[in-house]
Amino acid sequence: MLLAELIQRRDKIRDLMFKEGIDAALITCNVNLIYTLGRVVSGYLYLPLHAPARLFVKRPSTMSGEHISPIRKPEQLPELLATCGLPLPKRLMLEGDELSYREYQRLTACFPDVEVLPCGSQIIREARSIKTIWEVELFRRSAQAHARAYSHIPEVYREGMTDLELSIEVERLMRLEGCLGQFRVFGQSMEIFMGSLLAGDNAQEASPYDFALGGKGIDDSLPGGACGQQLKEGESLMVDLGGNFYGYMCDMSRVYSIGILPQKAYDAHQLCIDIQQEVTEAAKPGVTGEELYQLATKRVEHYGYADWFMGTIQQAKFIGHGIGLEINEAPVIAPRMKQELQPGMVFALEPKIVVPGVGPVGIENSWAVTAEGVEKLTLAPEEIIDLRTRQEH
């Protein structure tokens, strides 16, 4: 990654630090290191307000450079900073929302005469919410690879498959296109393997996670996604795998069917596409997530699908979310979300409906906010694709 790109990202964090009167940041969590360093290491990136960043690295031990120093333990940090000619900060921020309590206390104890603040996660996530030109380009490339993988799904479907067997084949397609497989999520309350394939009424299963749709999964230790049930004629299935091709979580869902579905499923699917159209036409800088959410729910209520929108037994109370190095970034398109869209934000919009006895329908695409509106990044057919018909061809 070009140094100029990293400096631009670090300066965005510095601007936010300056507004809060913070002199330095100590960054050690993987996602934030990717953002500010371009890679994962075991160590600490020290980001002072008015001096170049310094990397204190444990592993890999082969790293070296002008602003890189080896370190064995965090207690060495004050001495190493002095050796580099850097004074101790008056106010230092740590990643309080991501570090364990023990690690946070240990790092705090290394700076007994410094005011240590836990706001690092919040400030860095705010900086990350506005993507650089290069980051948006990585999303475009990811979206192309994502679409190529999905285009081959009809080719890997076989009569008599289970949802798990098809999910494995789709995961393979994604990996062959270069997907890293790692599904990064902010916080400890959500986890899943690559994404989900939901078929039939499994899409109604309530989830402990804050996902749009749940799924039972194949074991209670990871309750989400495919459950091993056989794919049946007259049911729909939704493929929703995270497209982490360059570290960035591109998001796209598409719907397939086993044979012909009841007309109500096609009507519900078209409604979701219409919602996508209305919301994205309204989405532009200055519009809030709450305003966009209300547009969607008004249309759903008007057409009588409110009880099936974003789930049935348990309904998600959002229709979109920011994406980036993690799948759940700012902004959020949901009630009470007053954050305004800004150029450079990238979000996934996912209006979905679960038709009982049939399965999930709807759409999900990734969008970049521009000065005039939004740009669709994930370009792939949006109609329901009959896997049986495509297999015959």
Contacts of residue 144, Cβ cutoff 8 Å, sequence gap at least 6? 379
Q: Are residues 41 and 60 in contact, defined by beta-carbon separation less than 8 angstroms? A: yes
Its pTM stands at 0.95
Domain ranges of the chain: 3-128, 130-392
Q: What is the pLDDT along the chain (393 residues), one digit of tens a residue?
A: 689 999 999 999 999 999 999 999 999 999 999 999 999 999 999 999 999 999 999 999 999 888 999 999 999 999 999 999 999 999 999 999 999 999 999 999 999 999 999 999 999 999 999 999 999 999 999 999 999 999 999 999 999 999 999 999 999 999 999 999 999 999 877 889 999 999 999 999 998 998 889 999 999 999 999 999 999 999 999 999 999 999 999 999 999 999 999 999 999 999 999 999 999 999 999 999 999 999 999 999 999 999 999 999 999 999 999 999 999 999 999 999 999 999 999 999 999 999 999 999 999 999 999 999 999 999 999 999 999 986 555
Give the tokens for residue 132: 């650089």
CATH of 130-392, one of 3.90.1150.10, 3.90.230.10, 3.40.50.920, 3.30.750.24: 3.90.230.10
Going 52 to 58 to 60 to 66, the CA torsion angle's sign is positive
Amino acid at position 325, single letter: L
Domain spanning 3-128: CATH 3.50.50.60: no
As a whole number of Å, the CA-based R_g of the chain is 23
